[in-house]
Amino acid sequence: MEKIPPTIENSVIRNIRKEDNHALANVIRNTLEEFGAHLPGTVYYDPTTDALFELFKSDPRSVYFVATIDQEIVGGGGIFPSPGLPEDTCELVKMYLLKKARGIGLGKTLIERSLSAAKDQGFKKVYLESMPQLKQALKTYEKFGFHYLDGPMGATGHFGCGLWMMKDIS
């Protein structure tokens, strides 16, 4: 039987579930390894990476979406009101896709859903942290209207991220 290549049509985006923790941690770490971005001070070493369901359930203004293709978890992304950010600002967080899920519109859809959730939660700005190694993601963020900042905001603890961006969604 021939395997159908991944398409946006055979994908599903849904809210995170407790049983997704292990698969999502693998997606995040494998993606960072692929780009040589598995550095200290990044989500790679963040203990919350192994407990994303619990992290996102800990704050009522946070949302995390899981992307699946044929019921296999291939990525995710969401928003979180990270410590130290202004009350009207959330962070676009843990936005990762496996290689086989890129280029079909899933990343775009995850970002759109996350920005919509941010508006629904009353946020006016969305902040993100990234790294130069993630060139493809940076281009996508730029297309969405994120602009570069001179330095970090808040207290995420991700000192390994050297690029910071912001988008006004008000």
The 3-state secondary structure of 67-126, one letter per residue:
EEECCEEEEEEEEECCCCCCCCEEEEEEEEECHHHCCCCHHHHHHHHHHHHHHHCCCCEE
What pLDDT is recorded for position 153?
94
Q: What is the pLDDT of residue 159?
A: 85
How are strands ordered across the β-sheet holding 125-130?
11-15, 63-69, 72-80, 89-97, 125-130, 163-168, 147-148
**pLDDT digits 0-9 by tens, 24-60:** 999 999 999 999 999 999 999 999 999 999 999 999 9
Comparing C-alpha atoms, which of 68, 33, 69 is closest to residue 49? Answer: 33
User: 5 pLDDT exceeds 80?
Assistant: no
Looking at residue 4, its pLDDT comes to: 60
Q: Report which of residues 167 and 136 the model is more confident about.
A: 167
pLDDT digits (tens, 9 = 90+) for 105-158: 999 999 999 999 999 999 999 999 999 999 999 999 999 999 999 999 988 888
| Domains parsed from the chain with CATH numbers | 8-168 (3.40.630.30)
Q: What is the pLDDT of residue 1?
A: 52
Token output for 170: 């008000």
Q: Report the DSSP pairing between strands 72-80 and 89-97.
A: antiparallel
pLDDT at position 115 is 98
The pLDDT value given to residue 59: 96
